[in-house]
Amino acid sequence: MAESDTVRPSPEALLAEAQRHERGRLKIFLGAAPGVGKTYEMLSVARRKLAEGVDVAVGIVETHGRQETEALLHGLPRIPRRRLTHRERELEELDLDALLEHKPRLALVDELAHTNVPGSRHAKRYQDVQELLDAGIDVYTTLNVQHLESFNDIVGRITGVEVRETVPDAIIEQAHDVELIDLPPDDLIERLRQGKVYVPDAARRALDHYFSRGNLLALRELALRAASERVDDDMSVFMRAHAIAGPWPARGRLIVCVDATAASEHVIRTAKRLADQRHLPWTAIYVQTLGSATSARARLDANLALASQLGADTAILTGDRVGEVIVEYSRTHNAAQIVVGRSMDVRHRFWPRRRLAQWLLDHATDFEITIVAAPINGSGDGRPVQSDRARKWLTSRDVALAIGFSAGAAVIGKLLEPYTDSASLALIFLLAATFAGATGGLVASVLCSVIAFTAYNYLFTEPRYSLSVDNPQDVTTLVVFLAVSFVVGQLAARLRRQAHDAWLSTRRVETLFDFSRRLATAVDDRDLLTAAATGLSELLGKRCVVLRANAQHRADPPVELERAGEFRDTDQAAADWAIGHRETAGRGTGTLPAAAWYFVPIQQSGEVFGVIGVHLPATSDGVDAEQNRLLFTLQTQLAAACERFRLREAAQSAQIQKAAESLRAALLASVSHDLRTPLVSITGALTALRELSHRIPEEDQDRLLGSAIGEAQRLNRLIQNLLDMTRLSHGALALRASAVDVRDAVSQAISQLDGVLAGHQVDVLIPATLPPVHADATLLGQVLANLLENAGKFAPSGTTVRVDAHATADAIYVTVADRGPGIPAAERGRVFDLFYRAGQRDNGTAGAGMGLAISKGFVEAMGGKIGIADSAEGTAVEIQLPRAPAVIPA
């Protein structure tokens, strides 16, 4: 391979760099601790930008009463803060909407890790900053290193203080510039003593605890590390985007093993730091086994959510052999490193983390294994954080099942004791252990085995009612019984779990298949949304809605829910925000958490089709990790269905446009000749009269004038047909139905066609007693004129055109017949199509092919029918119209 190929620019790096330039630019002033001068430096830079002519606005800046900071703030344009009441206190917050409306070039937003007052659009200030960046506004902000999520546990161990306000590391990774504001620890301590950071009493407490010199040195090192990693990321992106060769690390993936314990938080943060240092993508996995405790599900969801927040992919796997599942997953996902925690407290663990770590060291020889020791607790006494599983491995239900089955076996054994020997009674207790395992699981089975062993020894072996054993054969029976009960109970528990997992898997597959089938069989948008909402509700076990995005990039409100008071303004705002920003919003998120619904945007190929809304109870913190993954999977299917409907609509629009183009071409081809011919005739006749009137006899002048008038009338009828066609196609036909005498309508139509019918004999065979029809007189006249004009044009000169009519009990039939060439039987159904001419031959007869189509539209609009009647010679067109209602004399 040529060297130019090996160092070509990376498309992914170029795309990432282009996307960074599309948004606003974020600059973070990073410090090791409060008081180092972050806000001061930010305001100083902002004042220089203002002097350069940049539109600067202060969104929110906290001076904490420092006079030198207040002086720098003076003169900078400010956006008034928003006032909120919380717990009977009036508080001030950043007015995000006002700042977005003002849209300065540069906004100053202090304290990035700040938690907003409840009732704000976002739970955290860094989310406000994200929205400003999405709007194209540059932002300057400040941040202390202890607020970075990946350093949170380290800061807690160093300072003994748990920092609750954290910022995802992705924020600092997205920043265009990170400026480290460094101040030596001794100088910062001196500032504290001088009261330049906190008031004197608070400063003394800070010096005794958080701001000790050792703590400040450690925090300063963390800040330097964060800044250096950020610089290294920038250099890597630049080198890849500009095809600069370098010693790139081998690519792979880092796998971190998590469980439902508090210690996993430390393991996850450690894995995040390792992934950043090695520039590796990483995945947090949890292996669900037979002994997995469902009571710790909330802790597991929190751990997976933390990993996702720090930028990891997450996966929940199933299997009995945890180590093998981890290794297989790591191999199939090209992992280079596995990170696993080592628990120090394994007294009550059926699957201790230490044992898993050792198994990985022994068997996963193809991977780099990193073992993370358990962190000490926040008190700093050196004791490990107690595992949630260690506290919850045994439940009251397990104890009740074990005692219940053992007691039942004892009662049955006593009842059967007179009829069988003691060895046979052991099978009853073995059966009890099996039932305990099948009903309650592994722990209940083991506990039942121990209780049943004790009860059998106490009640049925000699000496009775004692735990001692006299007969050596009974000792063998007891030992075998205990071993078999252990094995059978565990097998029963495993079978129960596998059956339950198989049932869940089958149910999920069936429901997913049904969901896909519903989406595939939906016939329109409304049907699609209804089917999707029903399927989602069944899959998630929660009330769901699917709202479509309108042209204004907002969610169409659910009218029925609004009327029932179940969809408030806050819910609508969350749905609109999810569509506009293509991110989740609502309950359980950091954006509009006061909403009662959790919204997920339906998006594919850069287009947002709508949102999925999941209703959550007020006590809920959001959907769990597994449901969230399922929700995003279903969102992908729904987005694909919406894309399919959009493409189908586009195809239909293209077909309609193609048909319109064909119609336009046919109109031009058909009408152009018919328009030009009368105009030429009229122009020729009038030109001759003007230039040669003194030489043309008066009789010939009258003939020329009559020809011009006839052609003008013909042109008028053609224009009228075009107008009528337009009215029919747009549904703008206004009917004025009344009782119409057919003989009068025929006579009026014949009088309009003197020129066309001049060479024909017209026989009108309509009885004087014919009842009137219920029709629009004008439209009926145009229908008859079109039929008579066709007969006059296509029938040979000298032939007869016949008009007759007759009545039935509820209808009037009018027939116009000629002795022309007729219409082939195969074409009788098409002659009423627009622009179609029978035979499609050029016989010298003018015609646009609109007369019969317009006549059909008029007749059907009047409630009648029109068709080609059987005729021995020529063409016969028959009209059927309803009879006019009889008029009852007064």
What is the full DSSP assignment across 711-735?
HHHHHHHHHHHHHHHHHHHTT-PPP
Residue 492 clears pLDDT 80, i.e. is over it:
no
Q: What is the mean pLDDT of residues 44-60?
A: 94
The torsion angles phi and psi of 598, rounded to 5 degrees, stand at -105, 125
| Confidence grade of residue 41 (pLDDT, cut at 50, 70, 90) | very high
Q: Report yes or no on 285 lying in a domain.
A: yes
Q: Which of 593, 623, 653 is the last residue of a domain?
A: 623
Of 374-378, 542-546, 645-649, 686-690, least confident by mean pLDDT is 374-378
**Who contacts 37 (Cβ-Cβ below 8 Å, separation ≥6)?**
31, 181, 183
Same domain, 172 and 186: yes
According to DSSP, the residues that pair with 812 across neighbouring strands are 807, 881
The domain containing residue 385 runs over which residues? 253-392
Q: Are residues 376 and 266 in the same domain?
A: yes
843-848, long-range: CB < 8 A, 24+ apart: 845/793, 845/794, 846/673, 846/674, 846/677, 846/793, 847/670, 847/674, 847/790, 847/793, 848/667, 848/670, 848/671, 848/674, 848/718, 848/721
CATH number reported for the structural domain that contains residue 228 in this entry = 3.40.50.300
User: Percentage of the chain surpassing pLDDT 70?
Assistant: 82
Do 440 and 362 share a structural domain? Answer: no
Last residue of some domain: 623, 650, 667? 623
What DSSP string describes 597-611? EEEEEEEETTEEEEE
In this structure, what token pair is assigned to residue 322? 């945890």
**Where does a domain end: 370, 392, 414?**
392
Tokens of 259: 């469980």
| Cβ atoms 34, 215 nearer than 8 A | no
Residue 722 has pLDDT above 50, yes or no: yes
State mean pLDDT over 125-135: 92
Residues 755 and 858 in one domain: yes
> What residues pair up with 811 in beta bridges, in sequence order?
882
Residue 249 has a pLDDT of 47
786 in Cβ contact with 847 (< 8 Å): no
Residue 387's pLDDT is: 43
Closest CA to 875 of 866, 864, 883, 884: 866
pLDDT interval class at 3 (50, 70, 90): very low
Instruction: Inform me whether the pLDDT recorded for 297 exceeds 80.
Output: no
Those residues whose C-beta lies under 8 Å from the C-beta of residue 383, and which sit 6 or more positions away, are 376, 377
Task: Please report how the helices 263-278 and 152-159 are oriented relative to each other, as an axis angle in degrees rounded to 10.
Answer: 120
Count of other CB atoms within 10 angstroms of residue 883:
17
pLDDT score of 347: 36
In a domain, 650, yes or no: no
167 within some domain: yes
- State which of 50-59, 210-219, 625-634 shows the largest mean pLDDT: 50-59
Same-domain status, 799 and 844: yes
Tokens of 365: 């020889």
Instruction: Name, of 138-147, 170-179, 218-227, 630-639, the range with top average pLDDT.
Output: 138-147
* CATH number assigned to the domain comprising residue 857: 3.30.565.10
What average pLDDT does this structure show over 52-65? 91
Are the CB atoms for 601 and 578 separated by under 8 Å? yes
Alpha helix (H) residue ranges in 279-337: 297-309, 322-332
Identify the residue whose tokens are 């152009």: 672
Q: How confident is the model at residue 383 (pLDDT cuts 50, 70, 90)?
A: very low
pLDDT score at 115: 92
Are 232 and 311 within one domain? no
Whole-number Å distance between alpha carbons of 566 and 578: 19
HSE, side-chain direction, 13 A CA sphere, residue 429: 35
pLDDT of 769 > 80? The answer is yes
194 and 101 inside one domain: yes
Q: What is the pLDDT of residues 182-207, one digit of tens each?
A: 888 888 888 777 766 665 555 556 55
Instruction: State the CB neighbour count (10 A cutoff) for residue 64.
Output: 14
| Residue 378 sits in the same domain as residue 403 | no
Q: How confident is the model at residue 346 (pLDDT cuts 50, 70, 90)?
A: very low
How many whole angstroms separate alpha carbon 254 and alpha carbon 458?
Answer: 55
Average pLDDT, rounded, for the chain:
80
pLDDT band at residue 61 using 50, 70 and 90 as cut-offs = very high
Residue 510, domain member (yes or no): no
- Please give the residue that has the higher pLDDT: either 206 or 881: 881
The answer to whether residue 737 is domain-embedded is yes
The pTM of this model reads 0.57
Tell me if residue 85 falls in helix, strand or coil: strand
Interatomic CA distance for residues 813 and 559, integer angstroms? 51
- Report residue 601's pLDDT band, with 50, 70 and 90 as the boundaries: very high
Instruction: State the Cα–Cα distance between residues 280 and 367, nearest whole angstrom.
Output: 14
Residues 133 and 221 in one domain: yes
Residues 404 and 387 occupy one common structural domain: no
If asked whether residues 378 and 414 sit together in one domain, one would say: no
Sign for the pseudo-dihedral over CA of 464, 469, 473, 475: positive
Indicate whether 350 and 277 sit together in one domain: yes
